A and B are shown apart, each in its own frame.
Chain A
Amino acid sequence: EHLQTQHLSISPSARVQYSFPELFFYKPNLWWPNGMGKQSLYNVSITVDVKGHGESDSWSHPFGFRKIESHIDNATGGRLFKVNGQPIFIRGGNWILSDGLLRLSKKRYKADIKFHADMNFNMIRCWGGGLAERPEFYDYCDIYGLLVWQEFWITGDCDGRGIPVSNPDGPLDHQLFLLCARDTVKLLRNHPSLALWVGGNEQTPPHDINMALKYDLRLHPDFAKLDENGQSIEDLS
């Protein structure tokens, strides 16, 4: 049941979205953060063959079955996480980038991220003044079990504070910011280590950007009931 073929006709010059019928798994090996269990990864491969022309394109990606939930705790003001239904005590490190000249090799990522795992960390927070990290960074976080808290590119000091006071309305081109955000989400969304998107560092982005991010990143209605602000009020799974 983990191998499926579907047939589809696509009009000339058309771009379409297609959802496979869901694949059923009974008790798959779950992906766990560092210290809670194994980082089980399956390989998902998708190919498209065109009649009369053979294989046209292929794609594959490691995939980890895991469910990550978090909420702000009223008592402490801190964010509490659960992975696969189990509470997890977060031991995190802050991260800007691996190299100031952006020589971001796989070897370097592997060493840096394994080091975090060896330090018994289970989360890395990618600070909003740095990078949206690269797929190779996430590959090693998937392998070593580091959850990733990924911030978008807003910091208080460049967007509202500082001397002279910086522009509180964030970047000049809000639509460009959202275009980059949407593309970044598509680049990284299949990594099991990706735990949380955050609007920026120590503050929320400008209102229109913040609302658009919250709307775009809301849970799909098949997965949650939402209130009028797009906030999850009941988890249906």
Chain B
Amino acid sequence: MAEIGKTKLDSGWVAARSTDIQLTGTQLTTTHPPAGPTSPWMEAVVPGTVLATLVKNKLVPDPFYGLENESILDIADAGREYYTFWFFRTFHCKLSGNQHVDLNFRAINYYAEVYLNGHKMVLPEGMFRRHSLDVTDVLHPDKQNLLAVLVHPPNHPGTIPPEGGQGGDHEIGKDIAAQYVEGWDWMAPIRDRNTGIWDEVSISVTGPVKIIDPHLVASFFDNYKRVYLHSTIELENRSSWVADCALNIQVSTELEEGICLV
């Protein structure tokens, strides 16, 4: 039985350029998983960008030393496929009867296809949004789960004018993504436009009812003597029966190390 809570998937990833892989996502997560960081696969930086993975593996120089950025192929010249990458790792998770598990991506740039044990799911466009996939039904309880993510760059990576300039040719502004990546007066262009799984990946195990996005607000009266804490949550019942819930809220403060006031 899995413990309730979140487990980060921030290590053990491998990556490969999509054009170097002739297998489908289904094959990668069923019959033909990568054996490890052997070519064309390499150790991946997750969270991080495709360029961070290439730098880690010394396939490109560190763009922030000297003029090394000039020697890295820009996406405008290389094409979007050049910076479209597979990411792969395995994880183990054994659930009990009424438990559920979500696969969470706190942000990707720019969109992706996720394959878990041969099942395909889509992470839609947008650099600044969370994705949460209920993968309970496709999990393997007694063996490793195979996870592959194909990450695509922004739709409008743009081109960098010879003279540089603020936001390059401004194409990146058409997407919901960081705009500095085409270069600015303080920054050279980022060659992969920050494509990648750039924020936390995790799995979270819950029982039948899940807490979603609590909201805490305080209101103040009588010169800050009277204060009220307002708390709102969303709850999702994933079971097929009525869930009788006890909701607890507790506010504590640590007076000194190891001693809490409730």
Task: Say how far B187's CB is from chain A's closest CB, in angstroms.
Answer: 7
A134 within 8 A of B: yes
Is A153's CB under 8 angstroms from B252's CB? Answer: no
Chain A residues closer than 8 Å to B248, beta-carbon distance: 3-5, 45-49
A171 CA to B173 CA, complexed, in Å: 6
**1/0 contact trace for A54-98 toward B, CB 8 Å?**
111111010101110000000000000000110000000000110
Q: Is B91 an interface residue (CB 8 A)?
A: no
Kindly provide the distance from the CB of B76 to the nearest chain A CB, expressed in whole angstroms.
15
Q: Report the Cα distance A55→B176, complex, angstroms.
A: 38
B125 within 8 A of A: yes
Are B207 and A157 interface neighbours, CB within 8 A? Answer: no
Chain B interface residue count, Cβ-Cβ cutoff 8 angstroms: 93
Residues of A within 8 A of B227 (CB): 24-28, 65
Q: A25-B228, A167-B170 are in contact. Are A10 and B178 (CB under 8 A)?
A: no
Q: Is the CB of B224 within 8 A of A54?
A: no
**Taking the complex as formed, is B236 at the interface, i.e. its CB lies under 8 A from any CB of chain A?**
yes
Nearest-Cβ distance from residue A151 to partner chain B, whole angstroms: 11
- Taking CB atoms, residues of chain B closer than 8 Å to A153 are 127-128, 176-179
Contact for B170 among A17, A134, A166, CB less than 8 A: A166
Residues of B within 8 A of A158 (CB): 166-167, 170, 172-173, 179, 182
Q: Which residues of A contact B262 (CB under 8 A)?
A: 2-3
Q: Distance in Å from the Cβ of B136 to the closest Cβ of chain A?
A: 14
- Chain B 119-151 per-residue mask, 1 if CB under 8 angstroms from chain A, else 0: 000000111111000000000000000000000
Within 8 A of B (CB), among A135-188: 153, 155, 157-159, 162-164, 166-167, 170-173, 176-177, 179-181, 183-184, 186-187
In the complex, the 10 A-B pairs of residues with the closest C-beta atoms, listed nearest first? A158-B173, A56-B207, A166-B170, A157-B166, A101-B52, A51-B244, A10-B237, A22-B228, A2-B251, A129-B179
Can you add 7 more A-B contacts, CB < 8 Å, to A18-B234, A158-B167, A190-B214?
A7-B247, A49-B245, A56-B209, A61-B216, A100-B187, A155-B166, A223-B219
30 cross-chain CB contacts under 8 A: A3-B248, A3-B262, A4-B248, A12-B240, A20-B232, A23-B251, A41-B253, A44-B229, A45-B248, A46-B250, A51-B243, A53-B98, A53-B207, A56-B207, A85-B223, A100-B64, A100-B187, A101-B51, A102-B199, A103-B48, A104-B47, A130-B178, A134-B106, A134-B199, A153-B128, A171-B174, A173-B125, A176-B125, A176-B176, A184-B128
Q: Give the interface of B toward A (CB within 8 A).
A: 4-5, 45, 47-49, 51-52, 55, 63-64, 98, 106, 125-130, 165-167, 169-170, 172-180, 182, 184, 186-187, 190, 194, 196, 198-200, 206-221, 223-254, 260, 262
